Amino acid sequence: MPVAQPGRSPLAQFVKRVLIVDKLSIFGLLIGIGGIIGGQLIEGGAVSILFQGAAFLIVCGGTLGAVMLQHPFSIFVNGIKMGRWVFITPQLSSGKLVSQIIGWSSLARRDGILALEPQVAASRDPFMKKGLRLLVDGNSPEKVREAMEVDMQSYEQLHFQYARVWESAAGYSPTIGILGAVLGLVQVMQHLSEPSRLGAGIAVAFISTIYGVGLANLVFLPIAGKLKLLITRQMMMQEILVDGLVGIASGDNPRIIENKLQGYVF
């Protein structure tokens, strides 16, 4: 099974796959940044002091380089692409999926398993197509589950590696911020005889630390956590499909299948 790429649901044919802007994520990020800026203003400091190009370059460049060094190219690229899920979120409709499975079950019970063959041709999703094909080919419930679970495990492992790209960035960012602080202090020490140049070095030193810690805790860790949540929900959708197909292969009554799958609905 071709592994689904970030931004495309592995269940694209039977999941409500409408992308919508996640207002809560955007609002949360703005609240976090606003709290820092607001605190700076309350303390009587200038907002402009928080914007230091040198500090930003040190932290972002150093973090990016470390993350690229840690991960293979494909994992890094797909992990970055998958980050957009946090703000443009795939909507998963488990209720709709359960209803479609019940429809398949009723059709198979009335006209036989081979009646599902047109569904195989109509599906463009590899995971769904494979499951229906296994079902139509007359495989046992155990064989259907075994074959599908291999693909599920592959999907889970690969996509959690994508999420770990953001986790690794959260680990490196504070350390790179400290490195930027040390570089700023080195600059200060080199110009002790020139008081007019001390301010810039001290600013880079402290702002680098703010950037490192702030990016880790306001951006990278939250993105990694939300991506893991979305991956888990997609895995649940796959489990619904597999349990439904196994129930059909076992010849279970559609009502029994429905009662079982309703426990998955979220």
Contact by Cβ (8 Å): 240, 262? no
88 phi/psi in degrees, rounded to 5:
-120, 90
Contact by Cβ (8 Å): 260, 248? no
Would you give per-residue pLDDT tens digits along the chain (266 residues)? 334 445 444 444 333 444 567 788 888 889 988 988 888 888 887 788 788 888 899 999 999 999 999 999 999 999 999 999 888 877 777 888 899 899 999 998 888 898 888 988 887 778 888 999 999 998 999 999 999 999 999 999 999 999 999 999 999 999 999 998 888 888 777 777 777 666 666 777 788 999 999 999 999 999 999 999 999 999 999 999 999 999 999 988 999 998 888 887 76
What per-residue confidence (pLDDT) applies to 266?
64
Tokens at 56, concatenated: 């930003």
Report the C-alpha gap between 223 and 234 in whole angstroms: 17
CA distances from 153 to 148, 156, 158, 160, 237 (A): 9, 5, 8, 11, 13
Tokens at 27, concatenated: 């609002």
* CB neighbour class for 184 (10 Å; exposed up to 12, middle 13-18, buried from 19): buried
Residues in the chain, total: 266
What per-residue confidence (pLDDT) applies to 240?
93
| Helix/strand/coil for 162 | helix
Predicted TM-score of the model (pTM): 0.81
DSSP-derived letter for residue 160 is H
Q: Where are the beta strands (DSSP E) in the chain?
A: 19-21, 88-90
What per-residue confidence (pLDDT) applies to 55?
87
* CB neighbour class for 260 (10 Å; exposed up to 12, middle 13-18, buried from 19): middle
| Helix/strand/coil for 89 | strand
Report the C-alpha gap between 166 and 116 in whole angstroms: 41
pLDDT tens-place string over residues 216-260: 999 999 999 999 999 999 999 999 999 999 999 998 899 999 888
What per-residue confidence (pLDDT) applies to 201?
66
